[in-house]
Amino acid sequence: MAILGKYCKAYPLYRLRQFPGWSEIAENAKRIRKEVNGEIVEETRKLTDADYLYVQKNFTVTDGIFIDENIIFSDVTPEWIEFCEKLTQDDQRT
C-alpha cells in the first residue's frame, strides 16, 4: 500500500534539473495507458521540463504524491538539501 507523505511540494522538472548533481531514474516515472491499434498498452511516461515532480519531506523526488512510489531522485546530500531550501526561499519571494 502506498504511503502518503506528510508534506511534499511540487516543482516543474526544469527547476530540479538545475541542480548540478541531478540524476533521474526515468524508468521510475508513472506508467500511462494509451490505445495503440485498438489495444490498451502501458508505458512509462517520458518526463519533460514542463512536468511537475514532488520533493518529499525526506528530500527524495517522486512522480506523484506518494513518498514510496515512482521515486525519480534519491541521492539526498547536504548540497541537495541546500538547493531545495533555496527553491523554497525563492518561491516565498515571488
With CA atoms as reference, report the closest residue to 75 among 59, 52, 86, 55: 59
**Domain boundaries, given as residue ranges, for the chain:** 8-93
Strand, coil or helix: what is 81? helix
CA distance 49 to 32: 18
pLDDT of residue 51: 97
CA distance 69 to 72: 9
Distances (CA, A) of 32 to 10, 29, 40: 20, 9, 10
Q: What's 18's DSSP letter?
A: T
The ranges of the chain with pLDDT < 50 are none
pLDDT of residue 94: 65
Residue 4 grid coordinates: 502518503
* 40 DSSP β-pair partners: 35
